[in-house]
Amino acid sequence: MRYFPIFVDTQNQHCLVVGAGEVAARKIELLLKTEAQITVVAPEVTPTVKTYAEQGKISLLERRFRDTDIQDQTLIFVATNNSQLNQHIHEIASKAGLMVNVVDNPPLCRFITPAIVDRSPIVIALSSAGVAPVLLRYLRQKLETLIPQRISQLGRLFEQFRDKVKQHFNDLDSRRAFWEEVMEGDIAEQALNGNHEEAVKAIESKLANSSAQQPLAGTVYLIGAGPGDPELLTFKALRIMQKADVVVYDRLVSSDILEMVRRDAEKVYVGKAKSKHTLPQDDINHLLVERAKAGQRVVRLKGGDPFVFGRGGEEIETLIEHEINFQVIPGITAATGAASYSGIPLTHRAHAQSVVFATGHLKDDTIDLDWPALVQKNQTLVFYMGLTGLHIICEQLIQHGLAPSTPIALVQSATTHEQQILTGTLENIVERAKQSTIAPPTLIIVGSVVSLHESFAPYNQLNRNKLIQP
């Protein structure tokens, strides 16, 4: 992130605009929405800028720029058609440590002005670092239609009661919970409908009836983060993630998804890799209980789905034992994600009428599965966490009746931009895997449906395969 997004307090601050053409006029119009004291210097002035000066909105100096003009300025906008002058102002302002923006010339900008959705005191700023202004306008238009016009009134209501709520509740979690209840209830609706007085009375009543000492009831949310692509998150998952006080996440949760968690939420990593547990499962279970009993909203963020080899059932048993409230928000499991993004349908009328999910996780160097039940005609097999035991899986499937020529696919990092796929047969995939760079997390798909990959993948818009050639 080259440009750090900040909002500058313009109260009692001085801003200089060099230039008074139509481009400068647009910057002045934007600055007039702030509380800054605006000075414009230019030898030639357009009628729009002159009108601002006549109305007393700006101080206008109808002359050429002088180096001393930058003194005591907080922000400097340069909007002239003189490239040498633009370069000169940039150099002296930068040397003085001042924030300078040469309009439409990013290399000469120490800051850039974003696209703005203005619902003061609620202001949303959007930036593309100057590289995609058309995309920026598109996003702004979308936001303008999504955000209620009266959101500003809700913002003013929050501002009016901010200090009262802060005095009433001693801790941050209680204050946050109070405001979120206001946001999700009738009080916010009253404000958004323009009924400010009714909203004020309702929030005063709610505050009077809220005990500052009342303990908060903690809740644990078991959320399926999906197989990796952040666009596969559910709306509900994203909404709960934005409310979390603490997020307990594992190794399979992608960094892109973790970015969607509320910024000031505490993040606790409990990832598990082969033979390496940051925290044993029992400790994770009791961590959830401990944080919930402390009144926190705990998000247990898991790759895939919590109830498909995610140990969600074990964690819920502990929560029930300790009488902790919980919710389960399902996610797209790795099997369906890998199948969709690699062009391998798990079922197909001509190939497979059933699909079975199994774990390939080794325990005492064995995989204790009902192999005869797995080896059925017209059935697709999906093995989670099976790369280490791949040789055992292939040997057992062949031994119990599957043809050595049965197609098999290994899909690594499914649905992400790191997704890779290695195909083969039960008799050659182990050797092919040894000669490749395939590594966990990898899903194994076995069955004739794998043969459809080569014909389906080129036309699949979700296809992210990097085919591995050992």
- Identify whether the C-beta of residue 451 lies closer than 8 Å to the C-beta of residue 443: no
Tokens of 376: 């059925």
- CA–CA separation, 156 and 121 (whole Å): 7
**Cα–Cα nearest to 389, from 343, 429, 436:** 429
- Identify whether the C-beta of residue 362 lies closer than 8 Å to the C-beta of residue 385: no
- CA–CA separation, 303 and 157 (whole Å): 39
Type of residue found at 400:
H
- CA–CA separation, 434 and 196 (whole Å): 68
- CA–CA separation, 8 and 75 (whole Å): 10
- DSSP secondary structure letters along 243-293: T-SEEEE-TTS-HHHHTTS-TTSEEEE--EETTEESS-HHHHHHHHHHHHH
- CA–CA separation, 427 and 449 (whole Å): 17
**Cα–Cα nearest to 299, from 257, 246, 250:** 246
Count the Cβ atoms, other than its own, within 10 Å of residue 366. 9
Question: Which residues are catalytic, by number?
Answer: 250, 272
- Identify whether the C-beta of residue 203 lies closer than 8 Å to the C-beta of residue 182: yes
* Span between the terminal Cα atoms of the chain, in Å: 37
Which residues partner with 249 through β-bridges?
A: 269, 301
Type of residue found at 387:
L
- CA–CA separation, 126 and 137 (whole Å): 9
Using a CB cutoff of 8 Å and minimum separation of 24, what contacts does 122-126 make?
Answer: 122/147, 122/151, 122/152, 122/154, 122/155, 123/7, 125/5, 125/7
- CA–CA separation, 265 and 223 (whole Å): 16
